[in-house]
Chain A
Amino acid sequence: MAELKFIEGYPEYMYELIKVVEQTRAKRKDYTPKAMTMEEREDVLKVHPDYAEGGKRAINIGVNKGDIAPNEVADLLEAYPLIEEGEIDLRKPDYTTDILIIGGGLAGTTAAIWANDQGVPKENILLVNKLRHGDANSIMAQGGTQAADRENDSPVIHFIDALGGGHFTNKPDVLQTLVEDAPLIIDWLIDLGAMFDREENGDFVEIWGGGTCRKRMHACRDYTGLEELRVIRDEFKSREIPSLEYEPVIELLTDSDRVTGALLWNFETGEYKIVEATATIIATGGFGRLHIRGFPTTNHYGATCDGVVIAYRAGARLRDTDTVQYHPTGAAYPQQIIGLLLTEKLRSMGAQPVNKDGEAFVFPLEPRDVEASAFIRECYVRDKGVVTPTGMRGVWLDTPLIDIKNGKGTVDKAFPGMKRMFARFGIDMAKYPVLVFPTLHYQNGGVETDPWGKTNLEGLWVAGEVSGGVHGKNRLMGNSTLDCIVFGRKAGISTAEYVKSGKKRGKLTLEHMKKYVKLLKEAGIPKERKAPILLPDYRGKRVLARMIDVF
């Protein structure tokens, strides 16, 4: 069977185009395009997926009725549950626990350990996972975690950076907790044995993150999330705290305005299970796999907004649902890795965005939304993008400049993960540029909380990407791994106190669901629309067209 001819990992025609980039490289080496003026920014932002017309609408049902959200999210909020009333026998819980934690990324796993530290016995905690424990956005974080622990820095400066980055919409008291607790978190991670990048004398190597005025990014090569999560997960497992895998939560259980447990569904056998819990923490992460506006994503397979959907149905209040974060540099080629993240650090270290004609067309470190818009404009308005064999367009990120500017071997040392990813498909990013296009990256908004992760519903806490408020309408790099660990810890402590205060367990009902279904019917929502979706579906069209249900 025939295949395309490749040179250095690129089809012949793209390889020819790379020569154009190489020809202008010497000239570009000491040249950086000017940063845009405020007017220029405003103009280019018109082609940004988060600002361009048509992507959003008002939520029609529930606590946040009237608020704006991406169409894909609004659709899921206005969707029928996966189960019908009467189908479920709530009389005999399969698990009875003090603290139920839903989702084992950085946030959920951290919560379990801290609840245990506060004296909740391990057997009274239960962590449930949709996939394996750790198959999560957390494990993919590359760039680092912010914490103001150097002499010339302070939590106050960190606060101001994050507030400005969030367009001044962050919830201030929650943000204070984030930045004040940050040094404690790094200290805790060292206790657990996390291997941050260090200088000879033990000091942290701290680097820039977009939008900060101090270097306060703590990284573990370009595997920061992997290192943080596997250390925390190892501690969790060493304590033998119970956990379940492949048993997603599909609905919460309530006793009027109080969350009292959850309904699990065994992915493999189809059986449902009832969990009765005194306190529940939702830590289910983000929504990249909704492919908002048809964009590819950096997120893991299970990032489908489940936590927001089930919390909302139970009456939890959301905030900042109207903004979505796209990352300017997702991979656009090769097809196998489309959408996957190329960290911002590549540009911090000298890689330059370049168009089809070999021109550096944009300042490399504009804010994420401006940078992304400039790429989209280059490809779709000015027609200066490179078209891939699958019909995608992208611009070059001239990565060989990194070694030229910082010395040979820098790419190998600073970006081993990234380099490995491209090498697997025959591309040496230290020698040849790579093709990039914006990708869906982060859920800015979510369930509103107080500084302890508590929601407006009794018995319900949230932590991590599923929550909203701490980052306002835009999150800075390095603040979300931090967010997860800070508020995972807070939620763990807070739920432990709640439990220890002698709180009785509530009744187990699906009354909230019944009420919500009534609203859905009144609003005439199509019956087929169901949520949470649990996993995306990428099966080939031909197979789907021939699939029949006989067994």
Chain B
Amino acid sequence: MKKQKSIMEIIAEANKAVTTGIDEKDIEYWVMIYIMGRAYKVPAGLTIMQAMEYAGYRFIRSAGCRAGFCGACATVFRKIGDYKLQTAMACQTKVEDGMYLVQIPFTPAEKAAYNIGKEPYDVSVLFKYYPELARCLSCNTCTKACPQDLEVMDYVQAAIKGDFTAVAEGSFECIQCGLCAIRCPAEIVQYNMAQLARRMFGRYGSKRPESLSKRVKEVKEGKYEKDFRKLLSATMEEFKKLYADREREKD
């Protein structure tokens, strides 16, 4: 008699496409994609990244978080019959029939070295380290290239005007994939410039909370040492009681 499968075994079975690689027996729908020009029939409904893996590629570069946070998987593609060159994150974009694509695992780009503690909080700092900023042609190519749908040109323009708040807010969700910089005719490295602007804004843009400074001082002065000495010698029962007696702050 066959042993009945446990719930854990059933779950593992249902997940196996994402944990061990895809078996073509399980696939009903297919699309054709072209990886660096070579045609592959791959299951519909995968990301570009998963589809390349299905096709037999094992990533070393061009795969990092696999979740849209790290910018490692920058990809450019065209669709057959379409003049438009498009950009995407391979881990966050579904394959489509007739895509031909290549990945850009690395962006040669300058990153300036600075000490934000010693820089003035005004526009001069941006021009000092990224003087090419002045060359922006307002062509909007960067915005069109951004897989995070950020208004890249707008934040570049805000930087030229020294509006740190607008650069910081506008670029906050940047994952530093490099696609904007690769496409920029003025050779600006938007995302590195924005990183400097955000750091300046984060440090100087709002007042440091007083309660934080106070707490830091207390810790440094050893205000809690006595409490902790007592705590560390508590018994398990005492710990449990302390935990159970906690009072929850109001919502």
Q: At the interface, yes or no: B82 with Cβ under 8 Å from chain A?
A: no
Q: At the interface, yes or no: B236 with Cβ under 8 Å from chain A?
A: yes
Q: At the interface, yes or no: A526 with Cβ under 8 Å from chain B?
A: no
Q: Are A298 and B67 in contact (CB under 8 A)?
A: yes
Q: Are A139 and B70 in contact (CB under 8 A)?
A: yes
- Write out the residue numbers on chain B whose beta carbons fall within 8 Å of the beta carbon of A226: 69, 175
In the complex with contacts A160-B243, A180-B219, A204-B212, A300-B58 CB distance below 8 A: no
- Write out the residue numbers on chain B whose beta carbons fall within 8 Å of the beta carbon of A135: 63-65, 70, 72
- Other than the given A164-B239, A390-B14, 9 more pairs (CB < 8 A) read A168-B240, A172-B232, A187-B212, A193-B116, A204-B209, A223-B173, A301-B65, A535-B59, A541-B22
Q: Are B7 and A192 in contact (CB under 8 A)?
A: no
Partner of A424, one of B44, B93, B97, B227: B93
- Write out the residue numbers on chain A whose beta carbons fall within 8 Å of the beta carbon of B249: 152, 213-215
Q: Are B55 and A157 in contact (CB under 8 A)?
A: no
Say which one of B135-143, B151-159, B181-189, B196-204 lies at the interface with A: B196-204
Listed residue (B13, B176, B201, B211) with the most chain A CB atoms within 10 angstroms of its CB: B211
Q: Are B215 and A148 in contact (CB under 8 A)?
A: yes
Q: At the interface, yes or no: B80 with Cβ under 8 Å from chain A?
A: no
> Using a CB-CB cutoff of 8 Å, which residues 159-199 of chain B contact chain A?
168, 172-173, 175-176, 195-196, 198-199
Nearest-neighbor residue (CB-CB) of B229 within chain A: A176
Nearest-neighbor residue (CB-CB) of A187 within chain B: B216
Q: At the interface, yes or no: A119 with Cβ under 8 Å from chain B?
A: no
In the assembled complex, how far is the CB of residue B22 from the closest CB belonging to chain A, in whole angstroms? 5
Partner of B8, one of A54, A155, A160: A54
- Write out the residue numbers on chain A whose beta carbons fall within 8 Å of the beta carbon of B202: 190, 192-196, 231
In the assembled complex, how far is the CB of residue A146 from the closest CB belonging to chain B, in whole angstroms? 13
Chain B 6-22 against A: per-residue CB contact (8 Å), 1 yes, 0 no? 11101111111111111
Q: Are B21 and A294 in contact (CB under 8 A)?
A: no
Q: Which A residues are within 8 Å of any B CB, using their own CB? A: 1-4, 47, 49, 52-55, 131-132, 134-136, 139-140, 148-152, 154-157, 159-161, 163-164, 168, 172-173, 176, 180-181, 183-184, 186-187, 190-196, 198, 201-204, 208, 213-215, 220-221, 223, 225-227, 230-231, 234, 237-240, 246, 267-268, 291, 293-296, 298, 300-302, 334-341, 376, 380-381, 389-393, 416-417, 420-421, 424-425, 535, 537-544, 547
Chain B 46-88 against A: per-residue CB contact (8 Å), 1 yes, 0 no? 1100100111111111011111111010000000000000000
Q: At the interface, yes or no: B2 with Cβ under 8 Å from chain A?
A: no
Q: Are B7 and A381 in contact (CB under 8 A)?
A: yes
- Write out the residue numbers on chain A whose beta carbons fall within 8 Å of the beta carbon of B199: 192-193, 231, 234
Q: Are B232 and A176 in contact (CB under 8 A)?
A: yes
In the complex with contacts A195-B168, A239-B113, A540-B198 CB distance below 8 A: no
Q: List 26 A-B pairs, Cβ < 8 Å.
A: A4-B29, A140-B70, A149-B211, A164-B240, A164-B246, A184-B220, A187-B208, A187-B212, A195-B168, A195-B201, A204-B209, A237-B111, A296-B19, A301-B59, A338-B18, A391-B26, A417-B69, A417-B173, A420-B148, A424-B68, A538-B22, A538-B50, A540-B22, A540-B53, A540-B55, A541-B22
- Write out the residue numbers on chain A whose beta carbons fall within 8 Å of the beta carbon of B113: 237-240
Q: Are A540 and B24 in contact (CB under 8 A)?
A: yes
Q: At the interface, yes or no: B123 with Cβ under 8 Å from chain A?
A: no
Q: At the interface, yes or no: B149 with Cβ under 8 Å from chain A?
A: yes
Interface of A is mostly: loop
Partner of A295, one of B6, B17, B19, B215: B19
Instruction: Please report the total number of B residues contacting A with Cβ < 8 Å.
Output: 98
Nearest-neighbor residue (CB-CB) of B19 within chain A: A291
Assembled-state Cα–Cα distance A1/B10 (Å): 31
Q: Are B172 and A1 in contact (CB under 8 A)?
A: no
- Write out the residue numbers on chain A whose beta carbons fall within 8 Å of the beta carbon of B176: 230
- Write out the residue numbers on chain B whose beta carbons fall within 8 Å of the beta carbon of A140: 65, 67, 69-70
Q: Are A160 and B72 in contact (CB under 8 A)?
A: no
Assembled-state Cα–Cα distance A544/B13 (Å): 19
Across the A-B interface, the 7 shortest Cβ-Cβ residue pairs: A294-B12, A193-B199, A135-B64, A202-B207, A543-B56, A193-B202, A164-B243
Assembled-state Cα–Cα distance A293/B59 (Å): 24
Q: Are B14 and A421 in contact (CB under 8 A)?
A: no
Q: Are B242 and A294 in contact (CB under 8 A)?
A: no
Assembled-state Cα–Cα distance A284/B212 (Å): 31
Q: Are B65 and A339 in contact (CB under 8 A)?
A: no
- Write out the residue numbers on chain A whose beta carbons fall within 8 Å of the beta carbon of B58: 535, 537-539
In the complex with contacts A1-B44, A380-B11, A339-B207 CB distance below 8 A: no
- Write out the residue numbers on chain B whose beta carbons fall within 8 Å of the beta carbon of A335: 17-18, 45-46
- Write out the residue numbers on chain B whose beta carbons fall within 8 Å of the beta carbon of A134: 64, 70
In the complex with contacts A201-B207, A392-B14, A543-B56, A538-B20 CB distance below 8 A: yes
Partner of A538, one of B21, B61, B115, B231: B21
Assembled-state Cα–Cα distance A301/B63 (Å): 7
In the complex with contacts A47-B7, A164-B243, A202-B209 CB distance below 8 A: yes
Assembled-state Cα–Cα distance A139/B30 (Å): 33
In the assembled complex, how far is the CB of residue B65 from the closest CB belonging to chain A, in whole angstroms? 5
- Write out the residue numbers on chain A whose beta carbons fall within 8 Å of the beta carbon of B200: 193
In the assembled complex, how far is the CB of residue B165 from the closest CB belonging to chain A, in whole angstroms? 11
Q: At the interface, yes or no: B102 with Cβ under 8 Å from chain A?
A: no
- Write out the residue numbers on chain B whose beta carbons fall within 8 Å of the beta carbon of A540: 21-24, 53-56
In the complex with contacts A140-B69, A152-B249, A202-B209, A55-B231 CB distance below 8 A: no
Q: Are B242 and A160 in contact (CB under 8 A)?
A: yes
Q: At the interface, yes or no: B248 with Cβ under 8 Å from chain A?
A: yes
Nearest-neighbor residue (CB-CB) of A540 within chain B: B54
Q: At the interface, yes or no: B104 with Cβ under 8 Å from chain A?
A: no
In the complex with contacts A4-B29, A134-B70, A294-B15, A161-B53 CB distance below 8 A: no
Partner of B195, one of A230, A340, A535, A544: A230
In the assembled complex, how far is the CB of residue B217 from the closest CB belonging to chain A, in whole angstroms? 9
Partner of A267, one of B56, B60, B67: B60
- Write out the residue numbers on chain A whose beta carbons fall within 8 Å of the beta carbon of B32: 1
Nearest-neighbor residue (CB-CB) of B41 within chain A: A1
In the complex with contacts A336-B94, A381-B7, A190-B45 CB distance below 8 A: no
Q: At the interface, yes or no: B206 with Cβ under 8 Å from chain A?
A: yes
Assembled-state Cα–Cα distance A334/B247 (Å): 41
Q: At the interface, yes or no: B37 with Cβ under 8 Å from chain A?
A: no
Partner of A183, one of B93, B94, B219, B242: B219
- Write out the residue numbers on chain B whose beta carbons fall within 8 Å of the beta carbon of A208: 251
Partner of A3, one of B29, B117, B195, B248: B29
In the assembled complex, how far is the CB of residue B209 from the closest CB belonging to chain A, in whole angstroms? 5
Nearest-neighbor residue (CB-CB) of A159 within chain B: B231
In the assembled complex, how far is the CB of residue B95 from the closest CB belonging to chain A, in whole angstroms? 9
Q: Are A334 and B67 in contact (CB under 8 A)?
A: no
Nearest-neighbor residue (CB-CB) of B92 within chain A: A424
- Write out the residue numbers on chain B whose beta carbons fall within 8 Å of the beta carbon of A381: 7
Partner of A151, one of B46, B67, B211: B211
- Write out the residue numbers on chain B whose beta carbons fall within 8 Å of the beta carbon of A4: 29, 44-45
Assembled-state Cα–Cα distance A60/B45 (Å): 43
